[in-house]
Amino acid sequence: MNLIQHPELLDRLASSYALGTLRGGARRRFETLAREQAPVRAAALIWQSRLASLNELQPQAQPSPAVWTRIDNLVQGEKQSAAQQAVRAQAAAAAAEPAGLTGWLRSLTVWRTATAAGALATIAAVSVGIGMREELGGEIARLQTQLQSAPQIEYVAVLADDKAAASMLVTFDPKAKKLTLQRVGAYQEAGDRSLQLWALPPAGGPKSLGVLGSDKLLRLTAGESDVREVPTLAISLEPKGGVPSETGPTGPVLFKGTLIQKML
């Protein structure tokens, strides 16, 4: 199936991938498609960006003290039970076996009971994990509800260098008139230089869409007329503060990519 021709399915798979609920073979197949197809890779990056943004907006919260108390009580209870079983097993072995084998059997019993204690501790951890998984499921449902009301992204571009390494994810929300740029590569310009974003229309010269700051997440104001029918976006390295739009790029073009209008 060509995911690009099924935008709703692609969006669901990308959201599940970002949330971590897409697993096993399905996750590996999605990652393969993302490496081969830029729109699939862009969809995954968009959802990862959305989740990262939500995480920044959410206040830090510590688990309830009652949660830690339940975990501690459960683990301590299982440890005590395992220790009691180990003592009883060792006493029974010492009383039942011939004297010549006592030392060897005692050593064997210690190893067996230690293994049993480890198994019980694992069971306790799994039991706690089940309860925490239920809480996590509620948190994921809450995040999904928030994401459904997120801004509508209709344009997306993954800007890469000359080695095809993704360096900048660009999305555009025409309703809010916002271009959002997220650095996804390791490149960082020098302090006396600025990155500048350009629209490369099919006719006419490049048009500046704004000068970028050094933050990892950047936002610029733009109208839909600035990006509609623009096939390519590019980022050049310019003197600090950028250059006027009418001059066009004066420095090297570092990153370039196709601007895609999502099918709604």
Please state, rounded to an integer, the average pLDDT across all residues of the chain. 74
For residue 134, the model assigns a pLDDT of: 53
For residue 256, the model assigns a pLDDT of: 92
For residue range 245-263, list pLDDT tens digits in order. Answer: 998 999 999 999 988 876 5
CA dihedral over 178, 182, 187, 190, signed as positive or negative: positive
Amino acid (one-letter) located at 143: L
Distance CA 217, CA 214 (A): 9
Distance CA 50, CA 71 (A): 32
For residue 9, the model assigns a pLDDT of: 82
